[in-house]
């Protein structure tokens, strides 16, 4: 089972690694205060000196230096780079650097050694004559403790992570880490015997190069490994819409691929759907293939493919959860002017006997119970709509007759039809009414007006109730077969979230196509003589309340797999070339070629501008409107030399079924890192330097 697949571009991988791993690892490491311990054994050496005209010599042996754990000062690692591969594209190397690091070891330098003192038999201050060295007492064992510190001008930390499908989820797990201290500058305690290592007759005493090298090889990575071994994160997050759960954590049948050329990641997810533990009963379709890794300049971060199975599961979930129902009363009917739809006397001529004193209920306010008989069903198919994008092509195809038929055809603009037959019947009817027929051009109109869409069909049952002993009794029941079309698909936050926060999803609107008017059919009645009637007029008054129920599904939307802490670039706008961009007083003002559609507060991306300081992801400030984008930027990048582009927020397409494959929705977009949207547990783990795992 694999109805959801994802492809992340190399650019998206870099953004993920820097934001989710680089910054979070840096935060985790910043909580480290303990500098690493270290042990080493310098070689034996001799130290000679003159005292009162007599030469003396100390022979040092069995030297052991034990540096106890200390404390870091000014330890602030920053992300400096990330690499996928190169030998294994499932592995990712994060590099961080620390500048001007100091490690202090109060009473942390412990040295033990044996020393044998000698004196020289001749009055030679350097003991270089023909005399003899005599022991000056027995050999002594020494154990001394001093303060110690070391300065590290530049420390480089590397951490390797591996992405795998493990334990029923995708996990980015810690593999190993290393640290290069470069050229450390140890401050050897002044009392240490190591200061006597290289001396010439008491002159020029200093620590040996070999000892400095040994101190430079302190095992910095050991301390970091203890911290980084706890830092890992899952790659997905389940979508939660109230009681409806979309499980994106479980790997699909072909869970992971790492393209060998160019990098990137392709991921499959099971996408199983359940309501309070009950699984969606539809047989899973054939596995959805992987999207191609996004390309472009710059390439979008990610592409999602979501099979029609998931869309059907969405509607089933709301049905199973029992939310596809409502009760309409004279007090809550919308609009209030339609109260008359629930007054029995309204139907004196259309539904005989409903208001009859003998058999029915005259001058009575009814209520209406509405509920879905079964889960709505979706079909990915071609729908038809004439709009501003395809109208020029239609006009060109009908140029020979456009002056005579154009006005009539333009009146169909933005009217949606769910089937070719419905659209064609309307075109034929219009053609017959005009002096000039355009029937021969109908195939061309259908060619340009046809587009992939999602059609939703369902049956609503309606029970009209009358008061009875303090309650209500159903007296008429009828069914309404309805058709909706999903339109205006865009990324947004679901109106139905979870305890951990809002769910990000593809939200949409549901409209009634012009060839899909409700079909009302009588079911039953307890009133004598009512075995049918015009119940469509009743439904006209109840429709708005029922539409609101369905709109709740549209506003909840279709959840998408999401990397915790990352938000989609909400909103819908196309790529738009910049015509001007400049900086003044911490604010950038950019002008787009056409109206951009970005709303104040929305995140958007600028790319391709030189100087590059103008590029990045920003929030639209208050003066953003029309062709103008305004965003904050603290540092002046300089005068523009190359104009760039407002990057498209998201490209959402409905892909209809083809032979041997189901339909799916394709979403290509960028993301922005929002650490405040990490799960509260994750933020707590970071602050306490515990395991970083997002589930």
Give the number of other Cβ atoms within 10 Å of residue 108's Cβ. Answer: 22
State what percent of residues in the chain have pLDDT above 90: 23
**Range name among 178-182, 196-200, 310-314, 566-570 with the lowest pLDDT average:** 566-570
DSSP-based three-state secondary structure for 431: helix
Q: What pLDDT was estimated at residue 683? A: 38
Q: What pLDDT was estimated at residue 146? A: 93
CA angle 632, 636, 641 (to 5 degrees): 110
380 φ, ψ to 5°?
-85, 110
Going from the C-alpha of 532 to that of each of 151, 171, 383, 521, the distances in angstroms are 93, 61, 33, 8
Separation between Cα atoms, residue 509 and residue 324, nearest integer Å: 16
pLDDT band at 204 (very low <50, low <70, confident <90, very high): very low
Rg of the chain over Cα atoms, rounded to whole angstroms, equals: 38
Q: What pLDDT was estimated at residue 141? A: 94
Q: What pLDDT was estimated at residue 572? A: 66
Assigned token pair, 220: 């910095």
Q: pLDDT digits over 355-389, tens only? A: 888 888 899 999 999 999 899 999 888 899 998 88
Position 264 pLDDT exceeds 50 = yes
Instruction: Return the CATH architecture of domain 324-378+455-559.
Output: Super Roll (3.15)
**Range name among 181-195, 346-360, 549-563, 597-611 with the lowest pLDDT average:** 549-563
Q: What pLDDT was estimated at residue 556? A: 79
Cβ atoms 298, 11 nearer than 8 A: yes
Position 676 pLDDT exceeds 60 = no
Position 149 pLDDT exceeds 90 = no
Give me the numbers of helices (H) and strands (E) for the chain, helices first please: 11, 41
Mean predicted lDDT score pLDDT of the chain: 79
Separation between Cα atoms, residue 588 and residue 672, nearest integer Å: 19
**Range name among 223-232, 262-271, 321-330 with the lowest pLDDT average:** 223-232
Peptide bond into 332 cis (omega under 30): no
Half-sphere exposure of 331 (CA within 13 A, CB side): 0
Q: What pLDDT was estimated at residue 241? A: 58
Q: What pLDDT was estimated at residue 665? A: 84
Q: What pLDDT was estimated at residue 411? A: 92
Q: pLDDT digits over 566-585, tens only? A: 666 556 677 788 999 999 99
Provide CB contacts within 8 A for 275, sequence distance 6+. Answer: 243, 244, 245, 317, 320, 321
Q: What pLDDT was estimated at residue 629? A: 93
Provide CB contacts within 8 A for 605, sequence distance 6+. Answer: 569, 616, 617, 618, 646, 647, 670
More confident residue, 574 or 607: 607
Q: pLDDT digits over 445-495, tens only? A: 999 999 888 899 999 999 999 988 888 889 999 999 999 998 878 777 666
Q: pLDDT digits over 496-515, tens only? A: 655 555 667 788 888 889 99
DSSP-based three-state secondary structure for 424: helix
Separation between Cα atoms, residue 484 and residue 255, nearest integer Å: 34
pLDDT band at 689 (very low <50, low <70, confident <90, very high): very low
Position 71 pLDDT exceeds 60 = yes
Separation between Cα atoms, residue 42 and residue 609, nearest integer Å: 57
State what percent of residues in the chain have pLDDT above 70: 79
Position 537 pLDDT exceeds 90 = no
Position 317 pLDDT exceeds 80 = yes
pLDDT band at 631 (very low <50, low <70, confident <90, very high): very high
Cβ atoms 284, 269 nearer than 8 A: no
Q: What pLDDT was estimated at residue 176? A: 75
Mean pLDDT of all residues in 110-127: 82
Cβ atoms 170, 235 nearer than 8 A: yes
pLDDT band at 147 (very low <50, low <70, confident <90, very high): very high
**Range name among 2-11, 225-234, 365-374, 485-494 with the lowest pLDDT average:** 225-234
Q: What pLDDT was estimated at residue 685? A: 33
Separation between Cα atoms, residue 14 and residue 229, nearest integer Å: 21
**Range name among 409-413, 420-424, 600-604, 642-646 with the lowest pLDDT average:** 600-604
Domain boundaries, the chain: 37-166+174-218, 324-378+455-559, 383-453
- Strand runs labelled E in 542-627: 558-559, 566-568, 576-584, 587-592, 603-607, 616-619
DSSP-based three-state secondary structure for 69: coil
Q: Tell me the residue length of the chain.
A: 695
Q: What pLDDT was estimated at residue 457? A: 92
**Range name among 337-351, 418-432, 436-450 with the lowest pLDDT average:** 337-351
CA 201 to chain CA centroid, nearest Å: 69
Separation between Cα atoms, residue 607 and residue 647, nearest integer Å: 7
């Amino acid at each position: 089972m694999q109805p959801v697949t994802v492809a992340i571009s190399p650019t998206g991988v870099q953004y993920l690694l820097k934001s989710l791993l680089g910054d979070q690892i840096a935060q985790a490491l910043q909580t480290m205060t303990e500098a690493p311990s270290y042990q080493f054994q310098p070689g034996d050496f001799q130290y000679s000196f003159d005292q009162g005209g007599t030469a003396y010599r100390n022979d040092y042996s069995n030297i052991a230096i034990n540096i106890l754990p200390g404390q870091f000062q000014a330890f602030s690692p920053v992300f400096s780079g990330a690499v996928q591969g190169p030998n294994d594209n499932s592995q990712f190397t994060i590099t961080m650097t620390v500048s001007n690091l100091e490690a202090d070891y109060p009473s942390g330098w412990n040295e033990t050694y044996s020393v044998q003192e000698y004196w020289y038999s001749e009055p030679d201050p350097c003991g270089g004559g023909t005399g003899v060295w005599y022991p000056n007492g027995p050999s002594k064992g020494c154990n001394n403790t001093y303060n110690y510190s070391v300065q590290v001008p530049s420390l480089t930390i590397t951490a390797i992570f591996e992405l795998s499908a493990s334990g029923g989820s995708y996990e980015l797990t810690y593999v190993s880490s290393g640290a290069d201290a470069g050229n450390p500058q140890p401050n050897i305690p002044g009392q240490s015997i190591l200061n006597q290592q290289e001396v010439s007759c008491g002159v020029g005493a200093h620590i040996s190069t070999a000892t400095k090298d040994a101190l430079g090889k302190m095992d910095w990575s050991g301390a970091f490994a203890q911290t980084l071994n706890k830092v890992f994160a899952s790659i997905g997050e389940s979508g939660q819409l109230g009681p409806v759960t979309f499980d994106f954590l479980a790997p699909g049948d072909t869970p992971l691929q790492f393209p060998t050329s160019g990098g990137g990641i392709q991921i499959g997810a099971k996408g199983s759907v359940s309501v309070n533990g009950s699984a969606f009963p539809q047989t899973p379709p054939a596995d959805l293939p992987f999207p191609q890794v996004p390309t472009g300049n710059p390439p979008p971060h990610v592409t999602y493919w979501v099979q029609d199975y998931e869309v059907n599961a969405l509607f089933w979930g709301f049905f199973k959860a029992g939310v596809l129902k409502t009760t309409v009363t004279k007090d809550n009917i919308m609009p209030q002017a339609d109260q008359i739809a629930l007054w029995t006397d309204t139907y004196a001529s259309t539904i005989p006997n409903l208001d009859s004193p003998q058999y029915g209920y005259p001058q009575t306010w009814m209520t209406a119970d509405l509920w879905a008989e079964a889960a709505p069903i979706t079909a990915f198919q071609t729908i038809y709509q004439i709009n501003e994008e395809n109208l020029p092509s239609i006009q060109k195809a009908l140029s020979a007759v456009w002056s005579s038929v154009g006005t009539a055809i333009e009146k169909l603009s933005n009217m949606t039809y769910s089937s070719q037959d419905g659209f064609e019947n309307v075109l034929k009817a219009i053609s017959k009414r005009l002096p000039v027929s355009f029937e021969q051009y109908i195939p061309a109109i259908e060619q340009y007006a046809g587009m992939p869409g999602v059609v939703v069909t369902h049956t609503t049952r309606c029970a009209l109730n009358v008061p009875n002993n303090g309650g209500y009794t159903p007296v008429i029941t009828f069914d309404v077969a309805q058709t909706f079309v999903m339109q205006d698909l865009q990324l947004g936050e679901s109106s139905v979230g979870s305890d951990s926060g809002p769910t990000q999803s593809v939200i949409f609107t549901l409209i009634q196509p012009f060839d899909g008017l409700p079909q009302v059919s009588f079911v039953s009645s307890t009133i004598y003589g009512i075995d049918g009637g015009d119940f469509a007029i009743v439904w006209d008054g109840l429709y708005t309340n029922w539409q609101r129920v369905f709109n709740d599904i549209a506003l909840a939307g279709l959840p998408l797999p999401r990397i915790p802490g990352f938000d989609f670039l909400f909103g819908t706008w196309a790529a738009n070339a910049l015509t001007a961009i400049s900086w003044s007083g911490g604010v950038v003002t950019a002008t787009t070629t056409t109206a951009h559609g970005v709303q104040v507060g929305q995140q958007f991306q600028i790319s391709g501008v030189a100087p590059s300081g103008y590029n990045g992801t920003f929030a639209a400030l208050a003066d953003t409107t029309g062709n103008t984008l305004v965003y904050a930027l603290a540092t002046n990048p300089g005068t523009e030399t190359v104009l760039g582009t407002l990057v498209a927020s998201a490209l959402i397409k409905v892909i209809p079924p083809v032979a041997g494959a189901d339909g799916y929705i394709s979403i290509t977009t960028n993301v922005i890192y929002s650490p405040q949207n990490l799960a509260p547990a994750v933020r707590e783990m970071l602050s306490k330097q515990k395991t970083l795992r997002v589930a």
